[in-house]
Amino acid sequence: MSEVAHADVVILGGGIAGAGAAYEIAKTRSVILLERESVCGYHATGRSAASFTENYGTGLVRRLALGSRPFLASPPAGFCEHPLLSPRGMLTIARADQMERLDAELARARLLVPSIVPVSIDDALARVPVLRRDYLAGAILEPHSMDIDVDALQNGFLRGARAAGARIVTRAQVRGIACRNGEWQVETPAGLFAAPVMVDAAGAWADEVAQMAGIAPLGLQPLRRTAFNIPAPVGHSIAHWPLVNDVGEEFYVKVAGGQLMVSPADATPSKPMDAWADDMDVAIGAERLERATHLTVTRVSHSWAGLRTFAADRSPVVGFDPRAEGFFWLAGQGGYGIKTSSSLSRIAAALIGGQDLPDDLQRLGISASDLSPARFAPAPQVSSPSTTRGAA
């Protein structure tokens, strides 16, 4: 019989969610993180637009982003070699038929971020000269939106977790989960692992992992989003262009690695999988970009897709499952998992440690109940020994 490696907490999934949780939890507890792939961050985390905005997502998501900014702007000494954030700005544009929506977005955005302001068409064109004047009816600017160095953030989390004693095990696809002697026992090709607390940070696979543990899924829905790079337009200095985002989420374009990254902002329901870019979605993105700008897409240098996984109310799910002792959800980060990673990791560590949420997050109006899986999976009325673990 193979030996079982024990820890206080076993984390399933080595994307930004699992890595951030390992970093925070390992400060006070022994941690084992299990990742199926040969490297951490291969799925959604490695395919993002790397954008930090406080002006996108549900109200709760926006507050989680606000709560993450201090860490991202000023990580602890030794966390990374270069700043995690660099200035970008975000210009949200609207056609005449979208102006009502732009006004509503501006009013909503300014509730939390008063620095977001309307800008004139001339100002928008000065910032991004390839925009078509006859396309634009209005624009708003989020001046303090940033680019995130996702690799540095992910590696900083993993390095910090290891330094605190966490074990990161790759090529460890979880194939079976059982509840034995008050512990979750997890079977992988890399061995058997067990802990009284198991964190489900499996991204698009989070519901599948729960089902492996005998827990009914929460109805998380992976949605595919496509992106592609095109060469920088000749004769333009693009380095300081803000991210340009259509207010109706029809497309966005941003500077990335000296090129332009374009997305049709698609959201196609998918099963959990290694997603790839569909040619039709790339063509739609190119067409929308060409409609709004003077750019012509003649060459796509790279295209990809990733899964953004949402709960029904489009806010993350973080907390112990009321139906199964020791099963902790850290899922449903949707299109916001990078920018909210510091807040969500700290919340996970606090709840697993039986503590209140960090003061700074409470002051932002974030509460554990808003994030709890209990909003989708109410606690059973009567619990009995047979229903306290792994019961659906």
> Given the rule CB under 6 A, which residues bind ligand FAD?
12-18, 34-37, 42-45, 47-51, 173-174, 201-205, 209, 225, 227, 306, 308, 333-339
CB of 8 to ligand FAD, least distance (A): 19
CB of 208 to ligand FAD, least distance (A): 7
Residue (98 or 303) nearer to ligand FAD, CB: 303
- Main-chain phi, psi angles of 229, to 5 degrees: -105, 140
Residue (64 or 124) nearer to ligand FAD, CB: 64
CB of 3 to ligand FAD, least distance (A): 20
CB of 88 to ligand FAD, least distance (A): 10
Residue (295 or 330) nearer to ligand FAD, CB: 330
CB of 265 to ligand FAD, least distance (A): 9
Residue (334 or 373) nearer to ligand FAD, CB: 334
Residue (102 or 220) nearer to ligand FAD, CB: 220
Residue (203 or 326) nearer to ligand FAD, CB: 203
